[in-house]
A and B are shown apart, each in its own frame.
Chain A
Amino acid sequence: MVDLVRMLAGTRGHRRLDWTDWLSYAYLLLGLVLMFGPVLWLVLSSFKSAAALNEFPPRLLPYGQASVTVPGHPGPLPLFRVKLPDGSTRQLAELRRIGIQATMIDPERPEEEFKVNIRDRERVRAFHLALENYTEIFGKFAFGRFLWNSVFITVVATLITLLFNAMAAFALSKYRFEGQKWVFLLIISTLMIPPTIILVPNFLVVSKLSLLNSLWGVIWPAVATPTGVFLLRQYMLTIPDELIDAARMDHASEWRIFWRIVLPLSAPALAVLAIFSVIWRWNDFLWPLVVLSRTENFTLQLALNSFQGELTTQWNYLLAMTVLTLFPVTIVFAFLQRYITAGIASAGVK
């Protein structure tokens, strides 16, 4: 018990690994399995054919029917393990099946035909990636359309967010005008407002602006993020005022100063906000659910939700779509993991 607490109490590093270290590793390994495992299972499952998905208990890796090409026959023939009347088992390829009787041939001696009862044969499995899950969704389910909608919303919203927030942050950090303090407080106070309270009225506003069912109806309400303004303002405060004064002396207009000096210098903070915005917009659900009612305007998230609601869910396609949906965020994570975790950790200290 004492050692358990010592493990949690954070001691200096002992040179020798004692059992509290082993316990820590075990906990972290469990965490690894629990955090990554389900996603891995999703990915593996997405490569299984519909038939393979129906198996219980499921196999770990995607397996499909093995097949073999036999000379003299067009196309590959499915392979089976057959129990012959003489008691031996052989691997035979199936030519055709009528009712309960299958005509099978030995791949090595294709002239010899066997008549086999289907009860005496068993599929030979091989590792097989059902890539059709991924390719067919673009045709059958207009996945490409949903992908486009999500990308459009994410990219456009992020660009507008960056622009509007940067402009506001610039105004709040580099100027002194009357009422400035109130504007800042106003913007920050919106952090306290739960989105649910404005759900219904926003629906009205968006509908009055004729943005209902439009991608722009999803984009516009989302661009004035108070977090973004706060983040950028904090960063812009560290830009020396002398740079701006010098530019003014050089007869640069305020807009030019903003565009040519402040914005480029704020690149790191803009990058952070861009990443946040991409993740937020890509993952948005409730508001798009309310605004977009026609299927062709659905984002990926809405499409996924509507497919899984159907009575007979075609899981093989749904899984593939889910994997594609989480792919961009996973890429972002892989490359920027270190920075993301460092950034949030330091912000949390405040």
Chain B
Amino acid sequence: MASLELKRVVKRYATTTVIHGVDLTVRDGEFVVFVGPSGCGKSTLLRMISGLESVTEGDLWLDGRRVNDVSAAQRGLAMVFQSYALYPHMTVYQNMAFGLENIRTPRSQIDTKVNDAARLLRLEALLGRRPTQLSGGQRQRVAIGRAIVREPTIFLFDEPLSNLDAELRVQMRTEITALHQRLKTTMIYVTHDQVEAMTMADKIVVLNAGRVEQIGAPLDLYNAPRNKFVAGFIGSPRMNFLSVRVTGVGPDGVGVMTDANSPRAAATIPVRGESGLVGQAAVLGIRPEHIHLRRAEPDELALTVMIELLEQLGSTSFLYCVLPSGEKLTVQLAGQIDKEAGEQIEVCFATIDAHLFAKTESEPAFERLKTPAVHVAA
């Protein structure tokens, strides 16, 4: 039985619609991440699930029960806030015990649960302290502990790591994932950071301007983005987008030509297309990591570009190049290279790694004819 179900959920504030009909199913034990740019509605969606915001239209089902009209206090969920929202006048122990006191749990049980959670999160030594006496990471763990103690059916996280520095963020990310593996409770996690989404999620929900763009496993989103928005959002560094013109449509795929003046700048992308597309403009997508400097193979597209900027990190190199047409291209290579800014180079990539999109962001990508080989790490 599904743990959480959203059916055509809409959120309206007076005249503005913030969430335009979201459908979502979350299974018991899943780690689902809501991701998207600022203002896309991911926090609003989370708050609607928690009960802190009302649902304007549509249905919200928790474990088979319609909970639109059930108050936040009674949904049996727990939330970790971005600002932690720890009670400053209570000790860590009291912060964690508060929720259980409210539902009139016997004191001995409260004691056991709080101590168990404290042990799990290595907070035993801090139980007598006040939040103002804790570091950022410690406060984060107390906030999580407060949620754990309630044994909720779903954990809700509202951008919990955005107030931490980079190093702490990586550490807490692994801790939360470990927690999920240990407790096996459903978790819904909101973030704007796609790296967090990719590393932590069982399932990612990509949101944009109140609409769901795509739902899927992290690698599915990476390999088969449904539209230009998802393609550009998932993956770091961002996918390159080049303007191309459709030269022909056939059983092998769609022929395109870039605006570059180069013989090998045309190729056939193995996607399905209609004949009416010939002559139309389209967008070709290729991830920086799929571009290489080796000699071009027959089914590859080659481009001559000039390196504007070169960043060498030792294990990876980033080439920020520009095409004769003025469009930018980012290339990611493993290892170090012996090139300089200002040099002209030839770059290539396999057509099977390319994506083809229509010019508008939300129009679906052209459907693949062949599945690309998965780039398995050696």
Do residues B52 and A14 form an inter-chain contact, with CB atoms below 8 A?
Answer: no
Do residues B13 and A15 form an inter-chain contact, with CB atoms below 8 A?
Answer: yes
In this assembly, does B227 line the interface, its C-beta being within 8 Å of a C-beta of chain A?
Answer: no
Do residues A12 and B52 form an inter-chain contact, with CB atoms below 8 A?
Answer: yes
Do residues A15 and B52 form an inter-chain contact, with CB atoms below 8 A?
Answer: no
Write the nearest CB–CB distance from A11 to chain B, whole angstroms. 10
In this assembly, does B54 line the interface, its C-beta being within 8 Å of a C-beta of chain A?
Answer: yes
Q: Give the A-B pair count, Cβ closer than 8 A.
A: 5
Which partner residue on chain A sits nearest B14 by CB separation? A15
List A249-297 residues whose CB lies under 8 Å from chain B.
none
List B30-64 residues whose CB lies under 8 Å from chain A.
52, 54
Scan A218-247; emit 1 where CB is below 8 A from any B CB, else 0: 000000000000000000000000000000
Write the nearest CB–CB distance from A36 to chain B, whole angstroms. 32
Interface SS of A by simple majority: loop
Which partner residue on chain A sits nearest B53 by CB separation? A12
Residues of A with C-beta under 8 A to B14: 15
Which partner residue on chain A sits nearest B72 by CB separation? A12
Which partner residue on chain B sits nearest A16 by CB separation? B54
Write the nearest CB–CB distance from A3 to chain B, whole angstroms. 12
Residues of B with C-beta under 8 A to A15: 13-14, 54
Write the nearest CB–CB distance from B43 to chain A, whole angstroms. 14
Which partner residue on chain A sits nearest B54 by CB separation? A15
Interface SS of B by simple majority: loop
Per the CB 8 Å criterion, the residue count for chain B at the interface is 4
Instruction: Give the distance in Å from the alpha carbon of A12 to the alpha carbon of B54 in the complex.
Output: 11
Write the nearest CB–CB distance from A100 to chain B, whole angstroms. 71
Scan A5-28; emit 1 where CB is below 8 A from any B CB, else 0: 000000010110000000000000
Write the nearest CB–CB distance from B257 to chain A, whole angstroms. 53
Write the nearest CB–CB distance from A55 to chain B, whole angstroms. 51
Instruction: Give the distance in Å from the alpha carbon of A15 to the alpha carbon of B52 in the complex.
Output: 12
Scan B148-167; emit 1 where CB is below 8 A from any A CB, else 0: 00000000000000000000
Write the nearest CB–CB distance from A6 to chain B, whole angstroms. 10
Which partner residue on chain B sits nearest A12 by CB separation? B52
List A1-54 residues whose CB lies under 8 Å from chain B.
12, 14-15
Write the nearest CB–CB distance from A229 to chain B, whole angstroms. 33
Residues of B with C-beta under 8 A to A14: 54
Scan B295-337; emit 1 where CB is below 8 A from any A CB, else 0: 0000000000000000000000000000000000000000000
Residues of A with C-beta under 8 A to B54: 14-15
Write the nearest CB–CB distance from B81 to chain A, whole angstroms. 14
Write the nearest CB–CB distance from A312 to chain B, whole angstroms. 60
Write the nearest CB–CB distance from B102 to chain A, whole angstroms. 14
Instruction: Give the distance in Å from the alpha carbon of A12 to the alpha carbon of B52 in the complex.
Output: 8
Which partner residue on chain A sits nearest B12 by CB separation? A15
Write the nearest CB–CB distance from A259 to chain B, whole angstroms. 45
Write the nearest CB–CB distance from A15 to chain B, whole angstroms. 7
Write the nearest CB–CB distance from B331 to chain A, whole angstroms. 49
Residues of A with C-beta under 8 A to B52: 12
Which partner residue on chain B sits nearest A14 by CB separation? B54
Residues of A with C-beta under 8 A to B13: 15
Write the nearest CB–CB distance from B18 to chain A, whole angstroms. 12
List B3-41 residues whose CB lies under 8 Å from chain A.
13-14
Instruction: Give the distance in Å from the alpha carbon of A15 to the alpha carbon of B54 in the complex.
Output: 9
Instruction: Give the distance in Å from the alpha carbon of A176 to the alpha carbon of B14 in the complex.
Output: 59
Instruction: Give the distance in Å from the alpha carbon of A15 to the alpha carbon of B13 in the complex.
Output: 8
Write the nearest CB–CB distance from B289 to chain A, whole angstroms. 45
Write the nearest CB–CB distance from B121 to chain A, whole angstroms. 29
List A118-135 residues whose CB lies under 8 Å from chain B.
none
Write the nearest CB–CB distance from A10 to chain B, whole angstroms. 14
List A75-110 residues whose CB lies under 8 Å from chain B.
none
Instruction: Give the distance in Å from the alpha carbon of A146 to the alpha carbon of B14 in the complex.
Output: 57
Write the nearest CB–CB distance from B29 to chain A, whole angstroms. 31
Write the nearest CB–CB distance from B74 to chain A, whole angstroms. 13
Write the nearest CB–CB distance from B55 to chain A, whole angstroms. 11
Instruction: Give the distance in Å from the alpha carbon of A12 to the alpha carbon of B13 in the complex.
Output: 14
Instruction: Give the distance in Å from the alpha carbon of A12 to the alpha carbon of B51 in the complex.
Output: 12
Instruction: Give the distance in Å from the alpha carbon of A117 to the alpha carbon of B52 in the complex.
Output: 78
Instruction: Give the distance in Å from the alpha carbon of A312 to the alpha carbon of B54 in the complex.
Output: 65
Instruction: Give the distance in Å from the alpha carbon of A14 to the alpha carbon of B54 in the complex.
Output: 8
Instruction: Give the distance in Å from the alpha carbon of A268 to the alpha carbon of B3 in the complex.
Output: 60
Instruction: Give the distance in Å from the alpha carbon of A329 to the alpha carbon of B187 in the complex.
Output: 60
Instruction: Give the distance in Å from the alpha carbon of A12 to the alpha carbon of B14 in the complex.
Output: 16
Instruction: Give the distance in Å from the alpha carbon of A15 to the alpha carbon of B11 in the complex.
Output: 11
Instruction: Give the distance in Å from the alpha carbon of A203 to the alpha carbon of B14 in the complex.
Output: 66
Instruction: Give the distance in Å from the alpha carbon of A120 to the alpha carbon of B52 in the complex.
Output: 73
Instruction: Give the distance in Å from the alpha carbon of A14 to the alpha carbon of B14 in the complex.
Output: 12
Write the nearest CB–CB distance from B72 to chain A, whole angstroms. 10
Write the nearest CB–CB distance from A14 to chain B, whole angstroms. 7
Write the nearest CB–CB distance from A16 to chain B, whole angstroms. 9
Instruction: Give the distance in Å from the alpha carbon of A14 to the alpha carbon of B52 in the complex.
Output: 10
Instruction: Give the distance in Å from the alpha carbon of A14 to the alpha carbon of B13 in the complex.
Output: 10
Instruction: Give the distance in Å from the alpha carbon of A15 to the alpha carbon of B15 in the complex.
Output: 12
Write the nearest CB–CB distance from B322 to chain A, whole angstroms. 48
Write the nearest CB–CB distance from A281 to chain B, whole angstroms. 42
Instruction: Give the distance in Å from the alpha carbon of A315 to the alpha carbon of B14 in the complex.
Output: 54
Write the nearest CB–CB distance from A349 to chain B, whole angstroms. 15
Write the nearest CB–CB distance from B57 to chain A, whole angstroms. 13
Instruction: Give the distance in Å from the alpha carbon of A15 to the alpha carbon of B57 in the complex.
Output: 14
Enumerate 5 A-B pairs (CB-CB under 8 Å) in ascending A order: A12-B52, A14-B54, A15-B13, A15-B14, A15-B54
Interface residues of A (CB under 8 A from B): 12, 14-15
Interface residues of B (CB under 8 A from A): 13-14, 52, 54
The 5 A-B residue pairs with the shortest CB-CB distance, nearest first, are: A15-B54, A12-B52, A15-B13, A14-B54, A15-B14
